[in-house]
Amino acid sequence: MATDYYGVLGLAQGASDTEIKRAYRKMARDLHPDVNPEPGAKEKFGEVSRAYEALTDPEKRRIIDLGGDPYDTNGGRGGSPFGNAAGFGGLGDIMDAFFGGGAGRGPRGRTREGEDALIRVDLDLDETVFGTTTEVTVDTAILCDACTGAGTAPGTHPETCSTCNGRGEVQSVQRSFLGQVIASRPCPTCQATGQVIPNPCPKCAGDGRVRSRRTIPVKVPAGVEDGMRIRLAGYGEVGPGGGPAGDLYVEVRERPHDVFTRDGEDLHCRVTLPMTAAALGTTLKLETLDGNEDLTIKAGTQSGTVLTLRAHGAPRLRGTGRGNLLVHLDVQTPTRIDGRQQELLRELAGLRGEDLTDGNSANHGGLFTRVRDAFNGR
């Protein structure tokens, strides 16, 4: 069964070229693998591109409108060596190849769709978390304001190509063991457009577009992550002949932060606590992206404990709310202690019933003595 190429693009049979192009551009932007990571999007993008290619090729579209499938090598008839004689890649095409009837695609338009453009922008963590508006400078092709895309000098118009007589292709006769074969190829004079511009626009040299550097404001949504792309429709390259512009993709690169690291919508940071503060408990002033917050440390907190400040992370791009800030605590053991501090720690150890000797204290001293001597280089 032939594929419904009109249906793939959400169109009815007989849709105009403009409707086909508009439907394809909309679906391709939504399904492009660079912007849509959803499962199946890549395959759907391929189907949409295949349908667009078929419907913008006059010969393939003729086959589709007659009920066939231009990509079906058997013409949908299941095994005939000539396929479908009605012109679906079978006997009709063989006759055209020998006698030159209807094999050409005709002239193509001078106006073609422009390419997409890509630029990268560096942002700080608070800009990606809360969103911002920044500016990017791009160097792309824009519409020539002198000829408004026509490519012709003022007061002049394109003329029919004398090489191909406006057909956009030229034919040559080749001999083979089967007889004469007429081969068609794009006209080298007009580049298959069927027209030439004898008096090109002096500003764009007939291309209908010129290079220009411009500054464009970009609205960065809150919660965007490193590597994500923001699409600006119609800000890419203007096409040849003043064709519709492609899109501009702005790729975000997030600068490393001195304090916080990011994991999706969550933020992480490390806080070092003195041993006494971890043992006794305390309240710290923690500087977050939202301002200073009180961080309560419970008595007896151990190194490696993770405290969570809810809704202090990045906003969720899909959904509502924000991620969390996860604070990783490192308890710092003193590396140098004086005599008085050693006495106090010994006293504390005694009160807690802790044995600080290793059984050889007569020769080597207690644990605290050996730790102190090691740090003092003894």
CA-nearest of 121, 122, 125, 123 to 260 is: 125
CB 96, CB 103: distance < 8 Å? yes
269 is an annotated ligand-binding site residue: no
* Matching residue, tokens 């006059």: 58
Residue 277, both tokens = 């503060």
* Matching residue, tokens 């040299």: 205
201 is an annotated ligand-binding site residue: yes
Alpha carbon 12 to chain centroid distance? 31
CB 370, CB 361: distance < 8 Å? no
CB 123, CB 222: distance < 8 Å? no
Q: Which residues pair with 182 in a beta bridge?
A: 173
Residue 302, both tokens = 């151990």
d(CA 106, CA 242): 21
Q: Which residues pair with 243 in a beta bridge?
A: 239
CB 139, CB 230: distance < 8 Å? no
d(CA 348, CA 265): 44
Question: From the annotation, which residues make up the binding site?
Answer: 144, 147, 161, 164, 187, 190, 201, 204
* Binding site listing for Zn(2+): 144, 147, 161, 164, 187, 190, 201, 204
